[in-house]
Amino acid sequence: MRENVNPRTITYRKFMGPWGMFLTLTACVSHSEQPGPADLVISNRFYLRVLDRFADDEDVAFLAFGLRLMAQHAPGAGGGEPIGVHVQELDYLPTDYQPEAAALALMEWFGAEFGVEVPQVGIAFDRASGYTVEWPDGH
């Protein structure tokens, strides 16, 4: 984990059919703030702040879900000073977008930022329903 608030950008790509899940996420870590009233507290240690003004409720829900899945794997996850994950931007093509990509991108970002392994996720594609995600640990 880096000790500064310089943003890291991750691009999540998955192509299995005529369209793909493709999303670029930019986020940073904050060690200097307590969660605010608009932040989502994810665990004893982590909270989520979404700064992208175009992120809708479904995007935020999947970002929180992805952070919840990864927070348990972080070193010192059980306690200590709060760590804020501030999502600055989600960039995607709306015509091909599935909000599950926000969780998958955040998981990749978290793995890179905190140096932890990202759990395996099962992904299937069906032309009628798009992508289906089998989340780790039965979620």
Question: Over the stretch 94-105, which tens digit does the pLDDT of each residue have?
Answer: 877 899 999 999
In a domain, 3, yes or no: no
In a domain, 49, yes or no: yes
In a domain, 130, yes or no: yes
- The Cα-based distances of 107 to 18, 119, 128 in angstroms read 24, 9, 26
In a domain, 2, yes or no: no
What's the number of domains the chain is made of?
Answer: 1
pLDDT > 70 fraction of the chain, expressed in percent and rounded: 92
Confidence category of residue 1, pLDDT binned at 50, 70, 90: very low
Asked if the model's pLDDT at residue 73 lies above 70, the reply is yes
The pTM (predicted TM-score) of the whole model is 0.91
In a domain, 107, yes or no: yes
Cα(64)–Cα(58) distance, integer angstroms: 10
> For the domain that residue 44 is a member of, what is the CATH number?
3.30.230
pLDDT value of position 139: 63
For the ranges 36-40, 57-61, 73-77, the lowest mean pLDDT is seen at 73-77
Domain that holds residue 29: 8-138
* Between 107 and 20, residue with greater pLDDT: 107
- The Cα-based distances of 127 to 55, 71, 84, 131 in angstroms read 26, 33, 38, 8
Residue 95 has φ and ψ, to the nearest 5°, of -70, -25
Query: Dihedral through CA 19, CA 51, CA 103, CA 75, nearest 10?
Result: 140
- In what helix (H) or strand (E) does residue 30 lie, and over which residues does it extend? strand 20-30
- In what helix (H) or strand (E) does residue 41 lie, and over which residues does it extend? strand 40-41
Confidence category of residue 78, pLDDT binned at 50, 70, 90: low
